[in-house]
Structure 1
Amino acid sequence: MRHRYSILFFPLHVFVDFLSLNTAFVGAYWLKFGIIDPVFEPPYATLLWVFNLIWLAEILLFKPYIFPRQLFKADHLIKKMLLLMAVHIALISLYWVAIKGYYYSREHLFITYVLFAGLGAAFRLGALIFLREYRARGYNNRKYVVVGYGKLATTIRGFYDAHPEMGFHFYGYFDQPTAENSDLLQGDYDKLTAYIQANRIDCVYCCMPYIDNSRLKTIVDDAELVDYQVKLLVDFRGFLAKGASVEYHDFLPVLNLSSQMLADFRVNTLKRAFDIAFSFAVLTIGSPFFMLMAIITWITSRGPVLYAQERIGRDGKPFTIYKFRSMYVNAETSGPVLSAGEQDSRITPWGRFMRQTRLDELPQFYNVLKGDMSVVGPRPERQFFIDQIVEVAPEYRTLLKVKPGITSIGQIKFGYAANIEEMVQRLRYDLLYPERRSFLFDMWIIAQTVRVMMQGRGK
């Protein structure tokens, strides 16, 4: 039988977790009360049974000990354990309230979970270290071959060569011989099945760009007879980075290459609700402050209080953005020019202060309320500058898939840009946003923006 010891991992994992749970429960009782015997009598004996039954139910429901070798990593194992513990704590809390078990010591429960987390993490880390060493010595390994030679085939081999702790040993490439690859192949397709049987190969990686469907079907059909796994390698990396998703038409998987991920309904709905509530609150509560800002702007530099300018929003749609005027009137009579920063003579003294504290951006909450902008998002630019940016950094088009914002990572980390080169540098920060955006991430960016405003570090 292949890998006869691997089947023991699951029951061992279950046993150790139950042992850790019960040891933590009893140990916490001893630490709290200094004795052990009462823990095996009601009411704590009943609670101990509930502890074990809930953990058993979680194992049956979530199947937490079934994962591929690629996910057998410390962070993944501990995160999964903590997630199970969180569910366990929630269910125990419901049980406690339902039976009105206020006679149970909360300190005992707290110590139990601390001990359980420590024991569980120690076991997982110990098992991980043991398996890595065990596999490094040549045990508990998997043998694999790659069918279809090309860049993708060498990539998967390079991955396993770089991660010997996973225990995958390479046994050769198989493909139709050509002048370029004949010296690199273990054999052609006709020799594959015999080679798998002779060398007891565990896994066959099939590279879809280099193998046709008829040969793939033969490999899959033979897998049941010869007892090996078949895994398909398809290079979606370039597409997935742009937000591709998989749809299922009955049993047929379809790769959607449009950036629908960026228009995720749940994220956008929550984000828009927050934008409306936050903007309405700022405009309502801050109206006296806005009036004061307008008066100071008018007194320090005669001319319009607000500055309106066309910017490009989501999907390339133009809109009018509003700011408190920070430059002298007619500062751009010669055409679109970026600010030269603190040395720009077009900026008024009061305007310089507003830029340092980001106060000139406050009227844009009206743009947010209208739906042209969001509170958090990449800064919108003029078409004149977008055309120049795209020539240097075509990836800027990615930012046009999300709604622009009042503040962004680029605004926090870099600030205002004085030329195209600096705009591209700021772009590197803003490109992080579409992939990482979430409600909590938006809250972090807003908090950092407030800090910059309070410290007057905007440039």
Structure 2
Amino acid sequence: MIKDNQKLLNRLHVVIDAVVIVFSYIASWYLRFKSGIFELDPWFLSLQEYAKVLIVIVPGYLVLYYGFQLYTPKRVQGRRLEAWHIIQANVIGLMAFILLLYVWKQPDFSRGMIFVFFLVNVFLEVVVRNIIREVLRDMRKQGYNQKHILLIGYSRAAEQYIDRIKANPEWGYIVRGILADNVPRGTEYKGIKVLGRIDNLMIVLPENKLDEIAITLGLAEYHKLEKIVGMCEKSGVHTKFIPDYNNIIPTKPYTEDLVGLPVINIRRVPLSNMLNAFVKRAMDIFGALVALALFSPVMLVITIIIKVTSPGPLIFKQERIGLQNKPFYMYKFRSMVVQDASKEKNGWTVKNDPRVTPVGKFIRKTSIDELPQLINILKGDMSLIGPRPERPQFVEKFKEEIPRYMIKHQVRPGLTGWAQVNGLRGDTSIQKRIEYDLYYIENWTLGFDIKILFLTFFKGFINKNAY
């Protein structure tokens, strides 16, 4: 049982961290003063002198690691989140270390050595923790270090929870069974059986050594929740609640505390945060200016070719719906013959569309026709990354046909996006495209934007669905 060895694993982890800290510190001293990488001071303190402060550094860093939740179970904790917590803890440790040296009036301690320690310790902690993660996952796959769970309630939430556990054996979760009132005893889902009614919980608990109880009631049974929580709390077994609202709120909700009252927000939009929005806007302006400088020769050549080969304006502008459902005019290099505005609104461009000029086929296929949208980005109508904007008539059509379609307008539309780098451009599924757009909106980070930009250069420019 996991509850029998979890404390041992945590203690072992603390010991490993202490060893890593000491090793990093000593290695940093050798790197700074003995490796020849850095210019050597005419005199420097011995390793023994530097080692004296380890009596403060080791417990101090372990407390920081505990404060940054680095001793929580690794079953479902993400690698990137753990690495970020390691960096945060070490930044605070670095600042505290330097502050203490000033307070203790220790000018002979090399600040360069302390900074090397910061880099080495972060690197080794990330590497060692990932090794531990892989060792534990391998053990769990082989049937060791398992966590035994009982589900209370048969519902879509129960099935989805079981699906994820079956798909991730490295988590080490074993579902012992389900107690439910809404289906008969013996009902089975992927090898997990309903053992009896919920009232049997007080009988099952003493007989089974459970590590965890997961409440997976259906919406119609939420009136039983208070009684079940009471029984679980009395047992002393760790209990968690998995809500059955995935088909009603099929997004990524988050909870905030309103003076002790938990409030569930239906959708988390990171770009509603002012700092996140500012960072993204700064990246848009910088990126658009750099792109204009890089692609200006290409844009000049295309301008000349369009002017010579086809009568009409160089730039085609079309009304699209953007941030907060506000219309704006999106710019493109003209790739079609000039036509009446009412005819242009009739529908999508189709394969071998006679309206597309010979030059237009090339610039549409290579996405060169999209380059004038860099001006839209500078104006604030668009972003480098985001859901692609659509024409008003199609917005009206799709918002009635596709659930959650209008959520895409909570952020600025983009020149490229997560859907586009995954091949969803041109004549592809709008439903699937919206799923990718919503994933982007709810999971935005600056790193995610950079990843999409990187993928755009390799996967996003050539569009086989552009006619």
> TM-score if structure 1 supplies the norm length?
0.72
Residue 243 of structure 1 contacts residue 259 of structure 1 at CA under 8 Å; is this kept in 2?
yes
Residue 323 of structure 1 contacts residue 361 of structure 1 at CA under 8 Å; is this kept in 2?
yes
Residue 452 of structure 1 contacts residue 458 of structure 1 at CA under 8 Å; is this kept in 2?
no
Residue 174 of structure 1 contacts residue 188 of structure 1 at CA under 8 Å; is this kept in 2?
yes
* Larger relative helix fraction: 1
Distance 1:135 1:73 in 2: 18
Distance 2:167 2:450 in 1: 38
**1:92 Cα deviation after fit:** 5.9
CA-to-partner distance for each residue in 1:15-74, whole Å, 9 max, x for gaps? 22222332344466668749xxxxxx9443343344563442232234144313633787
Alignment of 1:139-288 (within 5 A): 141-160=146-165, 166-176=171-181, 179=184, 185-209=194-218, 215-223=224-232, 225-238=234-247, 241-257=250-266, 260-261=269-270, 263-276=272-285
Distance 1:132 1:396 in 2: 41
Distance 1:416 1:128 in 2: 38
Residue 285 of structure 2 contacts residue 377 of structure 2 at CA under 8 Å; is this kept in 1?
yes
**1:311 Cα deviation after fit:** 2.0
CA-to-partner distance for each residue in 1:134-179, whole Å, 9 max, x for gaps? 89566x5544322223333344445445555555444433233765
Distance 1:213 1:423 in 2: 35
Q: Count how many residue pairs are aligned between Structure 1 and Structure 2.
A: 448
Distance 2:275 2:4 in 1: 46
Distance 1:452 1:217 in 2: 52
Gaps of 5+ in 1: 35-40
Could you tell me which residue of structure 1 aligns to residue 59 of structure 2? 56
Instruction: Flag the structure with larger Rg.
Output: 1
Could you tell me which residue of structure 2 aligns to residue 129 of structure 1? 135
What secondary structure is seen at the aligned counterpart in 1 of 2:75?
helix
Two-structure CA RMSD over aligned residues (Å): 5.0
**1:251 Cα deviation after fit:** 1.6
> Does 2:407 match 1:407?
no
The amino acid of 2:251's aligned partner reads K
Residue 152 of structure 2 contacts residue 216 of structure 2 at CA under 8 Å; is this kept in 1?
yes
> Does 2:383 match 1:374?
yes
More displaced 10-residue stretch of structure 1: 284-293 or 226-235: 284-293
Residue 148 of structure 1 contacts residue 211 of structure 1 at CA under 8 Å; is this kept in 2?
no
CA-to-partner distance for each residue in 1:301-339, whole Å, 9 max, x for gaps? 332333232222234433322333332222777443544
Distance 2:434 2:461 in 1: 24
Gaps of 5+ in 2: 36-43
What secondary structure is seen at the aligned counterpart in 1 of 2:215?
strand
What secondary structure is seen at the aligned counterpart in 2 of 1:12?
helix
Distance 1:73 1:415 in 2: 28
Distance 1:413 1:144 in 2: 37
**1:234 Cα deviation after fit:** 1.0
What percentage of aligned pairs have identical amino acids? 25
Could you tell me which residue of structure 1 aligns to residue 47 of structure 2? 44
> TM-score if structure 2 supplies the norm length?
0.71
Could you tell me which residue of structure 2 aligns to residue 438 of structure 1? 445
Could you tell me which residue of structure 2 aligns to residue 37 of structure 1? none
